[in-house]
Amino acid sequence: MEKKLLLYGGVIAVAAILLIASFYVVFMTGDQDSTGDTDVPADIDKDITTTTSVPVTSGPVGSSGGSMSVSDSSSPLFGLNIEVPQAAADETVNFDISYSNITGITGLPEDASVAGKMIKIETDGSTTWDKYKVFDKLIEVTLPYDSSLVTSDETVRYYTYDEENKILSSAGFISHDSTNNTISFYTRTFSSFIAIKLSLADHEYFGKDFTEDTGFRPKNDGFYFQNWGSYLEPDGICMGMVSFARYYYMNIKESDGTDLYEKYREGDKDEWRDDATAIQLATRAHTAERNVWKQSWSEEVWKYLPKSKDVAISLIHGMVVTGSPQLIAIYEKNAIGAWTGAHAIMTYKYSNGRFDIYDPNFPGTEPGTDARQIPFTYNHGFTRRYSSGTSAGSGTYQYNIFTHFGYKAFHPFNAFDQLYKSAENKFEDDSIFPTVTLTDYYSYGTTGTTPIDTDGDGIRDTPNLRATISGTIKGGHRKINSTLIYISNQKFKTPVDAYGKFSLQVPLFAGKNDLIILATDENTFSNWSGYLRDTIDSSASKSAFTLTLTWEPVYTDVDLHVKEPTEPTDYSGIPARELEPSVNPSYWPSGYPYLTVDDQYGFGYEQYIATENMTLPNYEGHGKSLYGTYKFRVHYKYDTDLDANNTQTVFWTVRLNYLVTVNESDAGAGIYREEKTWIGTLTTADIHLSWTFGPEESPSWSPKYEIEFKQPNPADYGIPPPPQNELPN
């Protein structure tokens, strides 16, 4: 179960207790499947023959993002468009786009056929890039189909084609433009794409007369342990679990002969925590997908939400054409439109007007179990929220947004191949991982700065909202040049020197902060490394409003500028309270928001913070208030490396986190928080190396962003029914 953004503190622990208690109930109950179990997937081989490939367009897309498109109306690929966001890759990637005519295809169901060309999109970069060819962010792709081949009773969806294994996989779905005859979807890797049309004339009103079953069974083909997270992903590893389960079922099970449910069970069958291989396998899969998983539930990605009818048809279309389970990302969207939680599940069967669900929160459930189903009919859409509780409609989490992702949005096949091979060897390279050690301020040496346990409860503690984490990384099969530090799910990166030492100041939330150090400077998908986990408890006042800026690379100075609701000027310079707070915090006017630190090197952070006991300067109302419209910008002050002729590109991230409300009467919720993230790229540093800045609209400044910090209404945080059912469509 993924962490709900509005929940904080002990709610996760309560949810875990409820899940533990429910595990045995769900495991032992559920209706028997009338169709019986299927031990191997259906015949999924698709043999496609084509003519010689015809080049269409090519070109580079750099780290600042860009697009590739075909605007020639005479081209068979007219309407093709690929939108690459900023920081999707940290290098320039070359695209080559071509097409070929399909001369033959076998393995499709009887009422399915092709609806266009075979479109091949290839990417090429450095040796490191070409190893996996995976972008760090979701890429929106729009591809055309041949409308002359499609009748009104046929539905078109796009699929990726794995030529080596002869497998079609659904590309997922964002939207269908019937005017321009295009389909849009998200992906992170590219290959060959093919439009498939499927006749739905006999199934126009999906209901009890239509069944599609891929043969997947959670009690055989899912993981046997429950989604409680792991040492690296304490808030859940749902995406890793469902995506790897699907990969294993479709690519490994038939040749291996073993159900995933029975593999890697090394310890007591009633106690999964000692089964290291399975937990590490699912964790690695999820960690590799962490960034894109978080991106998937951002407002920027779902600027257009597909109708539930289109999503459901896409899921059924995918099961019919590929014979494989389909990935569903589900979200909570509350009454005021805020995205407040997310979870990854799979559907493997549609029958009796319901999708059967593999939910990693509930392993081993039988098909037909009411709580593990999502009702859908063509006329009524999704008729209830999916709760991921022990019974239908129960549980803290009430998901009301349903989306269909293709598997290439989350992982490339070759990376899961390598992950599977490592798991078969029980990740033997663990024995040569380096050792991570924290050095606290009682330790010898200048890097001994990590907070210690001062009150004897076994947890490191501090009265501050920031801490310097320091330590050493020694041993291992190769030298580690940098390390990742996760603090309360915020990711930071810092160099490791020749002596194995590292030190980085990080922001803290009030309360317990989960600290994870992952000693790696490569892809964590398959290049796992040494790790350490600890906790830091901050007794500082609960934060009401924070903006945290992080950036890379090192040797760059980037500043966060905040205009408060009561500030009369608009970015005329840095307010006095923000000049040098790290030098002397006593300069901050008492009771006003402030900038906690002015970090002047990459991989660091700057944080603007307003706590619940503060008020805005120049506030003319009664009492205290922090509410109003805030604005912020990011400024690239200067490049501090030794190359005076070239400016390093800066990749920046700003995270908003604020306390919404505390509902004392709501035992299932408690403290509600909101979060939002902005990302961007700056390629030009300011030419002025002083506190005097250049023109406000210069390329060294980011755009202006606005934040409405309103006084909350607790009633707004209810979760309404699915809002996508605007029918008919």
**CB contact at 8 A, 483 and 502:** yes
Backbone angles phi, psi at 587, to 5 degrees: -70, -20
Q: What is the pLDDT of residues 646-658, one digit of tens each?
A: 888 888 888 888 8
Average pLDDT for residues 473-491, to the nearest whole number?
Answer: 81
Tokens at 614, concatenated? 């503060």
Helix or strand run (H / E) with residue 132: helix 127-132
Q: Return the pLDDT at 327.
A: 96
CB atoms near residue 220 (< 10 Å): 18
- Long-range contact set of residues 52-56: C-beta below 8 Å, sequence gap at least 24: 52/100, 53/98, 53/99, 53/100, 53/120, 54/98, 54/99, 54/100, 55/96, 55/97, 55/98, 56/80, 56/97, 56/98, 56/99
Among 122, 216, 140, residue whose Cα is nearest residue 177: 140
Q: What is the pLDDT of residues 365-375, one digit of tens each?
A: 999 999 999 99
**CB contact at 8 A, 327 and 343:** no
Tokens at 652, concatenated? 């920046």
Q: Return the pLDDT at 251.
A: 87
Q: What is the pLDDT of residues 203-254, one digit of tens each?
A: 555 556 788 999 999 999 999 988 987 766 777 899 999 999 999 998 899 8
Q: What is the pLDDT of residues 526-564, one digit of tens each?
A: 555 677 888 999 887 767 788 888 888 878 888 888 888
The pTM of this model reads 0.75
**CB contact at 8 A, 544 and 608:** no
